[in-house]
Amino acid sequence: MSIILDKVNYIYGSETAYELHALKDINLVIEDGQFIGIIGHTGSGKSTLIQHFNGLIKPTSGSIYYNGEDISDSDFNKKKLRSKVGLVFQYPEHQLFEVNVFEDVCFGPRNLGLSEKEAQLRAYEALKMVGFEEDLFYQSPFELSGGQKRRVAIAGVLAMKPDILILDEPTAGLDPKGRDEILEQIKTLHETTNMTVILVSHSMEDVAKYVDRLIVMNQGEVKYDDTPKEVFGHYLELEEMGLAAPQVTYIMNRLREKNIPVNVNVTTIEEAKEEILRVFKNR
């Protein structure tokens, strides 16, 4: 197991008039090789939670363990942790700063103390992994489209060869084509490397399609932690939290209300199609 959170609390502005309890007694185990989704309304604690995974934020109380080591210990190597638990922020421009794309992706490996040859090799491999066009390697990252910037930001983290990749809203602001390309690339990375992937998203359709495990945050607490099918079975409770289920969940429940005996636990369009065809064939 890679990461364990044990009774983690985090309070912004502790002991001030603006005190906010952002995380409340969080207990989580992040296993190796999982594809995990995290959803929750704005202010639910999602971003605060993921910044604890690689030590960017120190818990107010509780403990976080990485491969059995307490990351709060004075002799724990936080720099190594951040190379192994890579975080791609929601706004990629916050992570891009070099004169060209290739130099930007080389920055992380160089910072690890690798040779120039090894840093360049890792940068090349990472950019190819995310499907970035080779003729744009030496273009300024600030002249790229939103989708291209996302790919470069992800490549910059992948060049560090992390064991865990955390993506905070990686498709925000992208058109449907760009969103699908990014998510399919992430899916391929997970399948080919067995890397642990943690995807923070507002899109119920995206998490339903890609993740194996879904964590729902609500007012600083873990409300649900299960498979997407089980979590979206609580769609009425999710609505009370300001969330929703994938559209197919509502469609299948409406069909069941019309006495059509479909399985309401499907979560993707393809599954819904197969289920509806199965029912009508049996008729």
Residues 205 and 259 occupy one common structural domain: no
Residues 164 and 215 occupy one common structural domain: yes
Q: Give domain status of residue 10, yes or no.
A: no
**Average pLDDT value for residue range 247-251:** 92
Looking at the predicted structure, is the pLDDT value of residue 20 above 80?
Answer: yes
Looking at the predicted structure, is the pLDDT value of residue 92 above 80?
Answer: no
**Residue 91 pLDDT:** 77
Query: What tens digit of pLDDT does each residue of 136-179 get?
Result: 999 999 899 888 888 899 999 999 999 999 999 888 877 888 88
Domain of 39 in residue numbering reads as 33-52+75-229
Q: Give domain status of residue 61, yes or no.
A: no
Fill in the amino acid letter for 231: V
Residues 178 and 268 occupy one common structural domain: no
**Average pLDDT value for residue range 55-72:** 94
Q: Give domain status of residue 263, yes or no.
A: yes
Residues 142 and 216 occupy one common structural domain: yes
Query: What tens digit of pLDDT does each residue of 174-195 get?
Result: 788 888 888 998 999 899 888 9
Q: For residue 18, what pLDDT band results from cuts at 50, 70 and 90?
A: confident
Residues 262 and 197 occupy one common structural domain: no
Residues 38 and 121 occupy one common structural domain: yes
Average pLDDT over the chain reads 91
Residues 186 and 48 occupy one common structural domain: yes
Distances (CA, A) of 144 to 80, 100, 177: 30, 10, 16
Residues 223 and 251 occupy one common structural domain: no
Q: Give domain status of residue 66, yes or no.
A: no
**Residue 1 pLDDT:** 57
Residues 148 and 250 occupy one common structural domain: no
Q: Give domain status of residue 137, yes or no.
A: yes
Residues 130 and 223 occupy one common structural domain: yes
Q: For residue 219, what pLDDT band results from cuts at 50, 70 and 90?
A: very high
- The structural domain count of the chain equals 2
Q: Give domain status of residue 70, yes or no.
A: no
The alpha-helical segments, DSSP class H, found in the chain are 46-53, 78-84, 101-111, 116-129, 146-158, 176-193, 204-210, 228-232, 235-240, 247-257, 269-282
Residues 206 and 82 occupy one common structural domain: yes
Q: For residue 255, what pLDDT band results from cuts at 50, 70 and 90?
A: very high
**Residue 233 pLDDT:** 92
CATH code, 147: 3.40.50.300
Comparing C-alpha atoms, which of 254, 262, 221, 209 is closest to residue 235? 254
Looking at the predicted structure, is the pLDDT value of residue 283 above 80?
Answer: no
217: which strand partners? 222
Looking at the predicted structure, is the pLDDT value of residue 43 above 80?
Answer: yes
Residues 190 and 265 occupy one common structural domain: no
Q: Give domain status of residue 62, yes or no.
A: no
State if pTM tops 0.85.
yes
Q: Give domain status of residue 60, yes or no.
A: no
Comparing C-alpha atoms, which of 136, 131, 50, 149 is closest to residue 93? 149
**Residue 250 pLDDT:** 93
